Structure 1
């Protein structure tokens, strides 16, 4: 007994100096404990344990994420396969054309001529005994309501190709779409040149290979997507083949040079996902991307929206998404698109076109509508999909199984520890509360870091150095997840329940939190709850194995199976959240100034850490002195925060690769009063900074921003702030706009003006009709605001828009047809007095393809190399009628 007492005191002393709690396992066999105990590993092994998971991420997840297939060449492959070499040659010529803005020579002439030339070569090699090919150049005009504006277009172009099997009698077509126009300054190799040349090569292969397919295929190369989405609207509402198109493959980009992600399907047609599953050679997709995109929080949209809104089309929406830093900038060039990336997209599109052009479901897609699908790829190696109803059942079943097995485990622990069930349940409730605190800290600490960085003007520090996210977000999350359980296990001393069993209950607590979340999100209707379910499945499996064997009761033996099985959810969850971080980090550079983007990125990092490491980080307590790991996490976090906030590494921008987007207009504005007099005639630069830092990164550079001020105060005085807001995004962000006055007047290439042709009082005596005409630039906006006692009752534009806004915005653009814009407005006034001001009308004439006058060009050259400018002259005139 004295020996046992001495040993207990000795173990107690050793425990104190090693920063460990007293364990039941330190008692001798005759002390009454019935459990086998395992000694805790040496403290330095904990660092090896965490390093293993870090290395697994960089050795497996990252390479598989960026993995691309070998590119095929003309010489080394048989016919019938996608040849990236040919497509890349087309992309080189496409890139050389330069920017392709709607209305420009580059878009309306050079690009159209280039595409028609390539199509003529393809047509020469069509297997005439197998296929018929028709090529149609559509020039179309129209209008529709898009978000908060009327989107009006005139003379935009579509190149439409129909490839039909010989003597085909099918009246249902497959539609494959992408766009060839671009944003200003962008050669658009990624968005969407890579996809245009992919379609050309798919058409080339399909038309020159001896094969059969049932449904004619319509390939749409649309010339006005960036405008936005005008040409697809013109096709689907007016083209002769549109009504026959039943299923869609839409291709777009928010980056370029990697894999394309499937991020929208259906809607309500899970059979389409089945076709993707069976035929996509390089799967990359997730339901979570679909749900995030459809919230509308991302600064992007695609033609898929138009096709599904204005027709009964269903389909798949896929987009290039890697390296979004060059997206919509002058750096979206040929040299950032590797041939292997073209091969990846081409393999997938060709396989899907072949499969869907033979799909029986295309005859009557609505007959196969059956709700949503849950889908995701696993490291690009496998693709899993099942129906939403199956997902609901699976989510509920796994959550229930988790709760039942944890209850069994707790009861088993009570039995082998020779304590009452009530005692063990009370202890588990305490542990569960501790884990809730850990979950909140794991999610909250990175968000707090993000909040503080933004508060001190240091947002986007990760923009050019993504590795900083590990130190400023991932490590704080690990610290938050592990600290409460570490403190609990250090302070809790029990001679009846072993340390190993208490640690196991810590993991049970985390599992219950996830199970509750899975139940709640499933009930709410989020299909993305699949992520929680599959994470729990790989906790339920080792728990079941441990309960069916004696491993559950043998010290730390249960951790062996757990660690082995946890490799799978670690790989998937880190891969999934890495995907979103790669895509969204670049998007944060154009997310606007109103929202702190770091909150989004920090939350994604935290969630990824919780799902990937939630069942692993508590296992540092298996080793002696876990406090050493916590100190390391804290030290690395502190060092990372210092590096991000105080060194050049944390500066967000780099020339060419990680640029600051700086859109602004060279504005000459004139305000005409009701009597025709001019009340304001000034010039300046109107800035619409696209990221959170705004103008701050430009201070201290050569660019002179003296006098730059917010236009917010003007927004209460003038219609739409009294400035030529370019499109609906500029309108939405107008309170964040900034104005830099210029003494010398802006010289615009021309000065169109709005002409009032007629003012006619209608028969009812309470309505007046105003008729206008104006010469237009290829991008012209009209703003109309009636006075308080006046209402718009009719006009040239879509009547459904009347009453939707207090200030109406008509966004007008033209392609080949630059005919003057003529329109009328009918205004009603209860007293019938039309000899007073009735409304304000403002015209914004944008000269997108002009660099501006000499002073404007000099001003543009003063910006630092990391600033990517998008700017042009604009004439703005406000009238009162």
Structure 2
């Protein structure tokens, strides 16, 4: 064992071509020394007299290797893809009985909802037309309520408030909620179930997907619940909120101020980052794993994964939902569910009724109706604190079955499976040594090298796709897969497969020892991959990630066939062990490819709005690499069962090379397509006016302010008719001028400020009006007059940002906004918007100064007023028309004034 330890300690890196001969000589020496020893288990000389079966080294014909890989590809396209996109039949009014969800009725409502047009907070479309339309639908439902079973109350809430959201104060005024409470007769429960979604939209969007389809689904569930002879335990509050995109204002107004809010204990939140397919449960709880039991038992079309929950809660994705507001300010627990397919239309003018099939609404509606019925009868809502049992591990298998267990159970399972795998692999090594007439130490000696090679294979399987992504981005070719996702096969999946198979291919090609049959050497390769997964699973569990379940369940379906093979003679009979393995690998292959495909579908469209600072290809390539490792890690080495596995290696190289050529040299690799895969181009028509302390104007100019949404930025547009000559980054100004001297729209624009670009325009822009900031008073306070209060009022637009920056040695100590925000930023950002109430914004600011000298500048104040929906003057409209048809413009006029007080 001393000699083995010395040899193993030298195997910490992959031998190079020059080192291989030396390593081989060393291992030959190891073989000679160890093989002279008695074989463990007492088989010694008797084993040495056995005649080895030559069939143990027989390999299949070379052409079956391609058929082997083709089988798994066909399995994906024949099983995973159809089940991923499978939707139930959309029921019509004629063919459905009472008490069920009717998609046709909801779909018809969605058509009329879409016809209203855009629904930006503060617009007539949102505050009047949409509210009136939805109240009309609610009134029709009220007319048919079973009065002997239910009471129904409707409240139109108009609410104002503010809170700190990320890096800004989010202040709202007169935003609206339509709130409906359905109460069963004679109920004594004071715990309500809240069902929420939103009807407002982003500029240019008609919001059929985000989230009109959810609104009409909620109303259909309300109709069914109120017209069906049934009973349930808890009242249900249906919240149709009118300011989610602003962001998350109406939900905050409801949960902090509405008369029914304090009774809401459970939540089903519905949102969308796409539309037209299934919806996914991507957040639950928090800390209430029992909710997953209800989802498992009552969701008719389950789709969920706790991996999505962990990814979303990192904050790396450019999205948020009302769920976070309800949890933070209302201490609610519940389910966060969202549409995610076809995210290319999200927040664009193409988010239309035509993209939402009836079947998609049926899928959402059936799930929602069943969950509402179940949770409105949940005894756990009576006292949710008593059921805080920790987080849950949850996932669906191809939408056919749902699996869930508690986080503590998951930890035990992860460690148990990893431990069992390590023990069984040692037993297999011992068994291999026994039937090969060598010592266990001899096999362990080679297994150490194999393990190192499999670590390298794992790394290569992940790194090679990432390296290609890095190279593409370096040459300005990111997002080549954006409109042609099939390119990922050659760009990322084939290189990952190549990385996984290459180390074992080289090892099996060069390792010539006949003491261990080839079939068992191949089995040792798979054991090496299993050890890597076991160590990874233990590491992820120690780190506290519930997503370790993916590794554990992948490993389970290697451990089980290994047990079967060890309990039978299949383990010892050539390649016979591969039969059981391949059968069991069907399940992890289907699940892992399904899981990763879900993330690829979700995130690929998001990469079009991920910003310029991050290379999105690194995310997509890593995702593809990880999926390939999980789905094919135990399968791709099996190509060595066949003769000439080099043909597979070269085929993977050829496919990758052809794909790279196609992506870089043809139109197929261009990311954008009109209507379906668009480039998002948000920009503002800006009029800037800078006032000095004495009121004189020191700058008065105009231009277009671009906040490009994807990695390629303005590069694709420079080949179009749009004249972007003079476009420059504003980053240099951001360190010298408050908020770069620009009318940054909201917290996302502020966060992205150094990536924003400015295109000067000679002719001044005249916005619809310029808000007038009025200084109502400047009052010195305190006995020693060491503080001064400025009081302002401004009659501004329904979307305005205020930027406040004290000068050096001056601090704000009091103001009209959240006091806890003071000191959190060097430049304060107050985002203000209003719905029905357009009254002026009034506020005060107090600043101290030790010497009491308030005759010098104390702070800067920027007023960024946005006229959403205004297309600008003739020159601006002509400029907009020059953009290519694959560019979706999100633009409006903006006034920016900088004052010094």
Name the TM-score, length of structure 2 as normaliser. Answer: 0.94
Query: Of 627, 632, 635, which residue of structure 1 is paired with 2:651?
Result: 632
**Conserved in 2, the CA contact under 8 Å of 1:35 and 1:417?**
no
Give the aligned partner of residue 617 of structure 1: 636
Query: Of 673, 679, 698, which residue of structure 2 is paired with 1:660?
Result: 679
Query: Of 670, 693, 712, which residue of structure 2 is paired with 1:693?
Result: 712
Cα offset, 1:831, TM superposition = 1.9
Query: Of 879, 883, 886, which residue of structure 2 is paired with 1:859?
Result: 879
Distance 2:189 2:877 in 1: 57
Query: Of 427, 440, 448, which residue of structure 2 is paired with 1:429?
Result: 448
Q: Note the alpha carbon deviations across 1:264-290, whole angstroms, 9 max, x for none.
A: 000000111110000000000000000
Give the aligned partner of residue 764 of structure 2: 745
Q: What secondary structure is seen at the aligned counterpart in 2 of 1:297?
A: coil
Distance 1:765 1:642 in 2: 73
Give the aligned partner of residue 40 of structure 1: 59
**Conserved in 2, the CA contact under 8 Å of 1:710 and 1:737?**
yes
Aligned residues between the structures: 853
Query: Of 316, 320, 323, which residue of structure 2 is paired with 1:301?
Result: 320
TM-align CA RMSD: 0.9
Q: What secondary structure is seen at the aligned counterpart in 1 of 2:303?
A: coil
Give the aligned partner of residue 792 of structure 2: 772
Distance 1:700 1:49 in 2: 45
Query: Of 258, 261, 264, which residue of structure 1 is paired with 2:283?
Result: 264
Distance 1:459 1:753 in 2: 45
Give the aligned partner of residue 898 of structure 2: 878
Distance 2:617 2:475 in 1: 13
Give the aligned partner of residue 585 of structure 1: 604
Check if 1:347 corresponds to 2:366.
yes
Give the aligned partner of residue 504 of structure 2: 485
Q: Note the alpha carbon deviations across 1:726-751, whole angstroms, 9 max, x for none.
A: 00000000000000000011110011
Cα offset, 1:423, TM superposition = 1.2
Give the aligned partner of residue 869 of structure 2: 849
Query: Of 194, 212, 234, which residue of structure 2 is paired with 1:215?
Result: 234
Distance 2:186 2:419 in 1: 57
Give the aligned partner of residue 800 of structure 1: 820
Give the aligned partner of residue 734 of structure 1: 753
Distance 1:618 1:71 in 2: 44
Check if 1:410 corresponds to 2:429.
yes
Cα offset, 1:559, TM superposition = 0.5
**Conserved in 2, the CA contact under 8 Å of 1:36 and 1:553?**
no
Q: Note the alpha carbon deviations across 1:583-607, whole angstroms, 9 max, x for none.
A: 0000000000000000000000000
**Conserved in 1, the CA contact under 8 Å of 2:56 and 2:573?**
yes
**Conserved in 1, the CA contact under 8 Å of 2:57 and 2:517?**
no
Cα offset, 1:35, TM superposition = 7.4
Distance 2:864 2:828 in 1: 13
Q: What secondary structure is seen at the aligned counterpart in 1 of 2:723?
A: coil
**Conserved in 2, the CA contact under 8 Å of 1:35 and 1:554?**
no
Cα offset, 1:492, TM superposition = 0.3
Distance 2:751 2:452 in 1: 43
Cα offset, 1:830, TM superposition = 2.0
Cα offset, 1:39, TM superposition = 1.8
Q: What secondary structure is seen at the aligned counterpart in 2 of 1:768?
A: strand
Give the aligned partner of residue 20 of structure 1: none
Cα offset, 1:765, TM superposition = 1.8
Give the aligned partner of residue 4 of structure 1: none
Distance 1:127 1:875 in 2: 53
**Conserved in 2, the CA contact under 8 Å of 1:263 and 1:287?**
yes
Q: What secondary structure is seen at the aligned counterpart in 2 of 1:371?
A: coil
Distance 2:246 2:209 in 1: 17
Distance 2:608 2:517 in 1: 51
Give the aligned partner of residue 851 of structure 2: 831
Q: What secondary structure is seen at the aligned counterpart in 1 of 2:813?
A: strand
Distance 2:118 2:877 in 1: 18
Q: Which moved more, 1:163-172 or 1:86-95?
A: 163-172
Give the aligned partner of residue 514 of structure 1: 533
Give the aligned partner of residue 790 of structure 1: 810
Q: What secondary structure is seen at the aligned counterpart in 2 of 1:874?
A: strand
**Conserved in 2, the CA contact under 8 Å of 1:191 and 1:255?**
yes
Q: Note the alpha carbon deviations across 1:690-729, whole angstroms, 9 max, x for none.
A: 0000000101211100000000111122101000000000
Give the aligned partner of residue 267 of structure 2: 248
Give the aligned partner of residue 62 of structure 1: 81
Structure 1 runs (4+) deviating above 6 angstroms are none
Check if 1:167 corresponds to 2:218.
no
Q: What secondary structure is seen at the aligned counterpart in 2 of 1:570?
A: helix
Distance 1:380 1:61 in 2: 10
Query: Of 206, 209, 219, which residue of structure 1 is paired with 2:225?
Result: 206
Distance 1:209 1:221 in 2: 22
**Conserved in 2, the CA contact under 8 Å of 1:34 and 1:416?**
no
**Conserved in 2, the CA contact under 8 Å of 1:270 and 1:373?**
yes
1:525-536 equivalence runs, <5 A: 525-536=544-555
Give the aligned partner of residue 20 of structure 2: none
Q: Structure 1: any 5+ residue segments left out of the alignment?
A: 1-28
Cα offset, 1:383, TM superposition = 0.2
Cα offset, 1:36, TM superposition = 5.3
Cα offset, 1:832, TM superposition = 1.6
**Conserved in 1, the CA contact under 8 Å of 2:775 and 2:791?**
yes
Give the aligned partner of residue 333 of structure 1: 352
Q: Note the alpha carbon deviations across 1:292-322, whole angstroms, 9 max, x for none.
A: 0000000000000000000121000000000
Give the aligned partner of residue 468 of structure 2: 449
Distance 1:628 1:71 in 2: 48
Cα offset, 1:38, TM superposition = 5.1
Check if 1:539 corresponds to 2:562.
no
Check if 1:811 corresponds to 2:831.
yes
Distance 1:671 1:311 in 2: 42
Distance 1:389 1:713 in 2: 51
Check if 1:285 corresponds to 2:271.
no
Cα offset, 1:169, TM superposition = 2.1
1:67-466 equivalence runs, <5 A: 67-466=86-485
Q: What secondary structure is seen at the aligned counterpart in 2 of 1:872?
A: strand
Name the TM-score, length of structure 1 as normaliser. Answer: 0.96
Distance 1:334 1:474 in 2: 35
**Conserved in 2, the CA contact under 8 Å of 1:256 and 1:324?**
yes
Cα offset, 1:30, TM superposition = 8.5
Distance 1:445 1:495 in 2: 33
Q: What secondary structure is seen at the aligned counterpart in 1 of 2:485?
A: coil
Give the aligned partner of residue 840 of structure 2: 820
Query: Of 571, 574, 587, which residue of structure 2 is paired with 1:552?
Result: 571
Distance 1:838 1:773 in 2: 19
Give the aligned partner of residue 6 of structure 1: none
Q: Note the alpha carbon deviations across 1:44-72, whole angstroms, 9 max, x for none.
A: 11000000000000000001000000111
Check if 1:504 corresponds to 2:523.
yes
Check if 1:674 corresponds to 2:690.
no
Q: Note the alpha carbon deviations across 1:518-538, whole angstroms, 9 max, x for none.
A: 001001110000000000000
**Conserved in 1, the CA contact under 8 Å of 2:187 and 2:233?**
yes
Distance 1:169 1:484 in 2: 68
**Conserved in 2, the CA contact under 8 Å of 1:435 and 1:485?**
yes
Q: What secondary structure is seen at the aligned counterpart in 1 of 2:452?
A: helix
Cα offset, 1:33, TM superposition = 2.6
Cα offset, 1:34, TM superposition = 5.9
Distance 1:389 1:700 in 2: 56
Give the aligned partner of residue 43 of structure 2: none
Distance 2:502 2:631 in 1: 17
Q: Note the alpha carbon deviations across 1:242-276, whole angstroms, 9 max, x for none.
A: 00000000000000011110000000001111100
Q: What secondary structure is seen at the aligned counterpart in 1 of 2:831?
A: strand
Distance 2:352 2:330 in 1: 34
Cα offset, 1:571, TM superposition = 0.2
Distance 2:502 2:290 in 1: 46
Cα offset, 1:31, TM superposition = 8.2
**Conserved in 1, the CA contact under 8 Å of 2:465 and 2:625?**
yes
Distance 1:182 1:784 in 2: 28
Distance 1:737 1:304 in 2: 30
